[in-house]
Amino acid sequence: MLRTALTSCILALVLVLQAGSGQAFETRAKAAFVLDHTTGTVLLSKDADVPLPPASMSKLMTLYVAFEAVREGRLKLDEELRVSRHAMSYGGSTLFLQAGERVSVRDLLRGIIVLSGNDACAVIAEALSPDGTEAGFAREMTERAKGLGMTHSTFANSNGWPDPRHRMSMRDLAILSQRIIEDFPEFYEMFAEQEFVFDETESQNRFNRNPLLGLGIGADGLKTGHTQEAGYGLTGSVVQGKRRIIFVISGLETEQARAREAEAITNWAFRQFTTAKLLEAGQVVAEADVWMGEVETVSLAAEAGLETLVPVGGSDKISAEVVYDGPLEAPVEAGARVGRLLIRPEGLEPTEVPLVAANAVAKGGAMVRLKLASGRVLRKIIAGAEGAL
C-alpha cells in the first residue's frame, strides 16, 4: 500500500482551503452523533457505536417497517386495526386505547410520531408480526435493521419499553433517520406536526415533544425519547438553506437540558461549518508508478466531484493523502479504480474519494522488458561490488 504526496494542483487547493477547525462541540450528552446529511460529513461522534437504551427513539424502527408495509400494500392507511389487551396494558405515553377498539392505521402512525404512543406501536406490531405477537415483530425489526446497515441494534419490543435486550447506537439511529427521510418522503411530513388530537375527551397527550419544532429554525423531525435508564434523548433533523443535519443525543438529565443541547448542536452545526467544492470530477490529483508499462506512470483522477463541509475560522490545514496498491501492473485501463484520496478536515472524520486511471497504459514490449532486466542485473552487480569492499 503506497501513500503518496499530492500533486501541486490539489495541494494548492488544500492550502487555499485553510478553513481550520471551528470550536469542537463539547456535548453534555452521554452519547451523540451529528451528520451533515447533504454531504455525508460526520461532524461529531461521541460513543456513537455503543449500544444504549434508546427509549422511544426506537419507535423510528417500528415506523420504518410500517411505512414499508403500507407501500407494499400489506397495510392500508384507512384500514382499522383491533386493539389487544396487551397493547392496552402499556403505560407511559399512550393514546389511551381500549381493548377491542378499532383504530385506523393513519391515526396509529400519527399517534406514534406525534404523541409517542406505546400502545399504538403494539397495535401496529401485532398486525405485522409473523406470529401475531409483539415479540415476533421485534425479532423482525432486528433483522430488518441489519439489512439497513444498523449493526448495533437489537429490539425486544416495538416502542422502547425498558428491556436489557433492547439497544441501539446513536449512529444506527442516524442511519435509520436518513433512510426514513430518503425512502418515505410521502410520510415524512408527519414528523413536523406539533399537535395531534386523537381523542377530544383526552387532553393529556396531544403535543409533539420535539423541542425544536416551534423555534422556526427549520426543524422537521424526528423523535424524542425518555426513560429513567436512558435519560432524555432526541433524534433530530433540521434544514437550513440547502443543508440538512441529522443528530442524535442521549443521556441528558432533564427535558430542559435536552432542549438546550439540541438547539446548541443545531446552531453549532450550521454556523461553524461551510460547504466547499474540493474536487471536480476527472481532476488529476497524483501520479502512480506503473510496472511493465509502455510508460512508467499513470495519472490518478477523482472519479466524482467532491463537495464537503469544512470548518470556518481558525488556521489549521486540511490534510489530504493518496493511497493505492503499487506499482500498478500494466496494462492499466482508463477509468479503472486504482486508488483513493483521503481528505481530513481538522476535527472531522476523513472523506474518501475513489481515484481512477486518467489514461490507459499498455503493457510494454520487448524493449521495456529488456530495460527492466538490464536494470536488475546492474543492481546485482553494484550490490556485489559494494559487498566485496
Spatial contact of 274 and 346, defined as CB atoms under 8 Å apart = no
Q: Which of 21, 46, 56, 93 is catalytic?
A: 56
Residue 180 vs residues 44, 63, 151, 185, 278: alpha-carbon distances, Å: 21, 9, 17, 8, 29
Neighbours of 142 (CB within 10 A): 17
Q: DSSP string spanning 308-376?
A: EEEE-SS-PPPEEEEEE-SSEESPB-TT-EEEEEEEE-TTS--EEEEEEESS-BPBP-HHHHHHHHHHH
Task: Verify whether residue 116 is a known catalytic residue.
Answer: yes
Task: Verify whether residue 59 is a known catalytic residue.
Answer: yes
Report the distance separating Cα 364 and Cα 386, nearest Å: 31
* Pairing between β-strand 31-36 and β-strand 243-252 as defined by DSSP bridges: antiparallel
Q: Which of 46, 59, 129, 250 is catalytic?
A: 59
Residue 228 vs residues 56, 165, 250, 256: alpha-carbon distances, Å: 12, 16, 12, 15
- Three-state DSSP class for 131? coil
Task: Verify whether residue 203 is a known catalytic residue.
Answer: no
Q: Which of 21, 84, 93, 116 is catalytic?
A: 116
Residues forming the active site: 56, 59, 116
